[in-house]
Copies of this chain bind each other. A is one copy, B any other.
Amino acid sequence: MRDTIYSYHQLYAFALSVFLKMGCSNEDASLATSVLLSADLRGIDSHGIARLVGYVRLWEAGRINATPNIKIVHETPSTAVVDGDKGLGLVVAPKAMQIAIEKAKLVGTGWVSVKNSNHFGIAGYHAMMALSQDMIGMAMTNASALVAPTFSAEKMLGTNPIAVAVPAGNEAPFVADFATTTAANGKLEIAQRNNESIPTGWAQDAEGNASNDAAILKKGGALLPLGSEKELGSHKGYALGSIVDIFSGVLSGASFGPWAPPFPAYVPMPDNMPGEGLGHFLGAMRIDAFRPAQDFKSNMDIWLNRFRNAKPIKGHDQVYVAGDIERNMEGERMKNGIPLVEEVVNDLSQLANKFALKL
């Protein structure tokens, strides 16, 4: 089945209309749309418009509040905890990131932990908000438990991504944005769709044995932390996922670990949740709180140029810096459009019917 190509502006207009139909304000709907579609542009298809129907179902189930009262509930000059009031993470997170940026302007850095939120799209969007301010941006979020710690048969952590964006001078910036697992769940979904097996190291079965079955999560299996197995450092990926969970969940008063709320609306909420909703952690560091921004940026240019020109191994044309591949994709898709697979097109058609919209 061939993909259907849509322009960015077509999909933007459609997603915007859906968020407006949910009752979001104009400002929130356009912010949510920009965050959501930044994933499609950057080639992270699992976190883009493919999830729109999921957000709608959470809203229908009363788990997402389209008109949240997002507020600071605790703060110091460099920190805040934000209560997202069950809002779309796509709206709560960039607003929390803006608070981090404002604090960084005043005292050098700003750090905001968020509770009572929902899925926030790609972490990279929020981290990149810092770039135009000559700041380093950071973003992370916890998520429902799909990942087994080293030696664990139980799923205890989400894929808990970390994003860090660093400005540069003439070179394109450094933008890392990655799940703390060997592979993101989206990659297993693609393998399932194509009836393919998955590489050893991505997942384990219910007993903890290595599995090549792309559908193993439906059979009690789990994703593996970055590193895959103990001998190859999976305890490090497990530690990273834990740090994200603690900074996003425990520090804010959100739920955490195996109690993080699920994304699919048909999955019941966990019993005895120790906190409120999903959690995020956002940070901004003003470059000139450390050294003159021009000095830093000219050194970053040296760094980026040296890494981009490292000698590649045989069979590869070049060494990439974090964010390079996504930036290339963004240019390509803005120009040539965004391909959507049949299931996603069907989901969007159903949304169009539901809300009397044209796709």
Are A108 and B151 in contact, CB atoms less than 8 angstroms apart?
no
Residue A11 interfacial (CB < 8 Å): no
| A285, B285: Cα distance in complex, Å | 14
Are B311 and A153 in contact, CB atoms less than 8 angstroms apart?
yes
Among A136, A154, A179, A321, max chain B CB count under 10 A is at: A154
Residue A228 interfacial (CB < 8 Å): yes
The stretch that binds B, out of A56-64, A288-296, A335-343, is: A288-296
Copies of this protein in the complex: 2
Query: What are the interface flags for A288-323 relative to B under an 8 Å C-beta threshold, 1 for contact and 0 otherwise?
Result: 011100011001101100110011111010111110
Given B182, B300, B312, which contacts A151 in the complex, CB threshold below 8 Å?
B312
- Identity of the chain B residue whose Cβ is nearest the Cβ of A306 in the assembled complex: B257
Are B154 and A239 in contact, CB atoms less than 8 angstroms apart?
no
Residue A33 interfacial (CB < 8 Å): no
Residue A74 interfacial (CB < 8 Å): yes
| A15, B74: Cα distance in complex, Å | 46
Residue A150 interfacial (CB < 8 Å): yes
With contact pairs A113-B290, A182-B233, A227-B226 given, residues A307 and B149 touching in the complex (Cβ less than 8 Å): yes
Residue A199 interfacial (CB < 8 Å): yes
| A272, B131: Cα distance in complex, Å | 28
Residues of B with C-beta under 8 A to A68: none
Are A320 and B150 in contact, CB atoms less than 8 angstroms apart?
yes
Residues of B with C-beta under 8 A to A300: 246, 250
| A213, B280: Cα distance in complex, Å | 42
Number of chain A interface residues as a range: 35 or more
Q: Using CB atoms and an 8 Å cutoff, list the residues of chain A in contact with chain B.
A: 74, 76-79, 81, 107-109, 111, 113, 136, 149-154, 156, 164, 166, 174, 176, 178-183, 199, 201-202, 204, 207-208, 226-228, 231-233, 235-240, 242-243, 245-247, 250-253, 256-258, 274-275, 285-287, 289-291, 295-296, 299-300, 302-303, 306-307, 310-314, 316, 318-322
29 chain-A/chain-B pairs, Cβ below 8 angstroms: A74-B289, A76-B109, A78-B289, A109-B111, A111-B285, A151-B316, A152-B319, A154-B310, A166-B246, A174-B246, A176-B239, A176-B243, A180-B236, A181-B233, A204-B313, A226-B227, A226-B233, A228-B228, A235-B322, A242-B307, A242-B321, A245-B303, A251-B285, A251-B287, A253-B299, A256-B299, A256-B303, A257-B303, A257-B307
Given contact pairs A179-B236, A182-B227, A242-B307, enumerate 18 new A-B contacts (beta carbons under 8 Å): A76-B107, A77-B78, A79-B289, A79-B290, A111-B285, A113-B290, A149-B307, A151-B320, A156-B307, A156-B310, A176-B240, A226-B226, A238-B322, A240-B240, A245-B303, A246-B303, A251-B285, A251-B291
